């Protein structure tokens, strides 16, 4: 007998002993393992994904009212094993059917073994034969008997399936988390009240066609779509040189959803572009196992938006100039707005707003007064350091510079805030670009706080 086989058999004996101990207490048990042929019985890939599958099994059992007691997660020479006590064992056949349902529907179903043992530590069988991992249409036991596949072929197939599962699992985890962070950033931004010239809970600012609830509807409409920007970065052929085109396609779809929700009112069109780039960037870095530091993030954004100002504001061949093109033609880089910010890797976010926010007290959503004070100061900091192309287009350099000056004064002394708000009201100014950058800042702040 080889040393490896001896170790496997010894590990299986120890597992059987654990089941016997459970049975000695008149309890049934359920176990989950990965069916890995040959030796070794597990590798890093198996160890990475196994806890996820365990959690999925536990949720599946709980959903079917199967209660678990004491549990154990075992790593030994026989492989990986999850073993749990069944609190109730009146109908073990039903429990077995529930576990088989889990096996059959799981992404790696052919690799899973979910076993149920009764109060005497005997396996509960349904009589069904597991399909072969490779053939699928034949029972695994038949292929084993015929020696149809060698161990190397089986293992290669298994690890390919597990790797696909890991990639899809991580992509979905990342996309869902980034979607959550995006929606939260949008809600925090619009809920910040008061805001000079902007829509907030109490006022519509300089806007007559939208209010707080317009933004809630828009935010809700966009919530399911942020994950698409994240998932786009996980595609096999995803490249930064082509990312902007993909982001624009997804952005236009998001715009349509926004306009449908707001009856054709533009609430967050610019923010879709900015956050779309942001989500894609973070997702790309996570997929490629790169650290989420400021340098990597900004380099990635710059790569996505390389030469954006020249391509869209200088070399544009459109007969009809947009507001952004007219503002750029008149004011140069100062009027390039969100395109310049994106091309340069969001300087106002990473050089001004985010460092300012991170120096403040930690955001505590349970303390409304603290939250509003910190977010308000962050917004004022952005306004004071942003060349808002929308304000430049509508009001010119003098008014735009006065807005920045008043924001700086409000930062130094809260009593000056009313002066800023009054100025925005009199001039009908809405620094929407700064509000967008606040949302982007909050997105990256939470990314840093919540994603390893």
Give the sign of the dihedral formed by CA 133, CA 138, CA 140, CA 146: negative
User: 206 versus 186: which is more confidently predicted?
Assistant: 186
Q: How many Å apart are CA 394 and CA 386, to the nearest integer?
A: 16
Strands of the sheet containing 28-34, edge to edge, are: 68-76, 79-86, 28-34, 112-117
Q: Which residues pair with 33 in a beta bridge?
A: 81, 113
In three-state secondary structure terms, 86 is: strand
User: How far does CA 291 lie from the centroid of its chain?
Assistant: 16
Q: Where are the domains of the chain?
A: 3-132, 163-450
Which pTM value belongs to this model? 0.89
% of the chain at pLDDT higher than 90: 75
Task: Give yes or no for residue 315 having a pLDDT over 60.
Answer: no
User: pLDDT by residue (tens digit) across 253-286?
Assistant: 999 999 999 999 999 999 999 999 999 999 999 9
* Residue labelled with tokens 């597992």: 15
User: Tens of pLDDT along 222-251?
Assistant: 999 999 999 999 998 889 989 999 999 999
Which CATH topology does 3-132 take?
Alpha-Beta Plaits (3.30.70)
pLDDT at 333: 56
pLDDT digits (tens, 9 = 90+) for 103-135: 999 999 989 999 999 999 999 987 776 666 666
**Upstream peptide bond of 191 is cis (omega within 30 degrees of 0):** no
What is the DSSP track for 397-429? HHHHHHHHHHHHHHHH-GGGHHHHHHHHHHHT-
Q: H-type helices in 192-293, by residue range?
A: 212-222, 226-232, 240-262, 269-287
Let me know how many helices (H) and strands (E) the chain has, helices first. 20, 4
pLDDT at 388 > cutoff 50: yes
- Burial (CB count <10 Å: 0-12, 13-18, 19+), residue 223: middle
């Amino acid at each position: 007998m080889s040393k490896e086989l001896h170790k496997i058999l010894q590990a299986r004996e120890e597992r059987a002993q654990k089941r016997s101990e459970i049975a000695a207490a008149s309890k049934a048990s359920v176990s989950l393992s990965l069916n890995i042929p040959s030796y070794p019985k597990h590798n890093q890939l198996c160890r990475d994904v196994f806890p996820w599958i365990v959690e999925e099994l536990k949720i599946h059992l709980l959903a079917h009212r199967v209660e678990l007691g004491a549990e154990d997660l075992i790593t030994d020479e026989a492989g990986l094993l999850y073993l749990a006590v069944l609190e109730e064992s009146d109908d073990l056949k039903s429990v077995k059917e529930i576990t088989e349902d889990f096996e059959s529907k799981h992404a790696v179903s052919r690799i899973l073994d979910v076993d149920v043992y009764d109060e005497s530590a005997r396996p509960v069988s349904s009589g069904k034969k597991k399909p072969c991992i490779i053939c699928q249409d034949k029972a695994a036991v038949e292929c084993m008997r015929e020696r149809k596949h060698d161990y190397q072929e089986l293992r290669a197939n298994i690890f390919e399936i597990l790797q696909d599962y890991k990639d899809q699992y991580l992509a979905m985890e990342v996309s869902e988390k980034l979607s959550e962070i995006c929606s939260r950033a949008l809600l925090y931004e619009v809920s910040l009240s008061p805001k000079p010239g902007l829509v907030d809970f109490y006022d519509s600012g300089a806007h007559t066609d939208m209010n707080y609830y317009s933004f809630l509807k828009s935010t809700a409409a966009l919530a399911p779509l942020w994950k698409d920007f994240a998932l786009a970065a996980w595609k096999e052929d995803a490249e930064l040189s082509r990312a902007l085109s993909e982001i624009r396609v997804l952005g236009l779809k998001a715009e349509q959803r926004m306009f449908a929700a707001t009856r054709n009112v533009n609430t967050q069109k610019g923010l879709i572009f900015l956050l779309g780039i942001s989500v894609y960037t973070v997702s790309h870095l996570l997929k490629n196992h790169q650290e989420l530091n400021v340098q990597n993030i900004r380099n990635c954004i710059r790569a996505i938006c390389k030469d954006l100002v020249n391509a869209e504001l200088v070399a544009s061949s459109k007969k009809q100039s947009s507001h952004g093109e007219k503002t750029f033609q008149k004011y140069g880089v100062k009027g390039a707005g969100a395109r310049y910010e994106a091309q340069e890797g969001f300087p106002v976010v990473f050089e001004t707003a985010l460092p300012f926010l991170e120096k403040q007290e930690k955001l505590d959503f349970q303390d409304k007064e603290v939250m509003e004070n910190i977010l308000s100061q962050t917004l004022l900091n952005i306004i004071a350091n942003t060349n808002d192309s929308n304000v430049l287009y509508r009001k010119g350099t003098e008014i735009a510079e006065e807005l920045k000056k008043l924001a700086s004064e409000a930062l130094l002394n809260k009593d000056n805030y009313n002066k800023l708000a009054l100025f925005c009201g009199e001039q009908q100014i809405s620094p929407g670009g700064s509000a967008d950058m606040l949302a982007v800042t909050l997105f990256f702040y939470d990314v840093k706080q919540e994603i390893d």
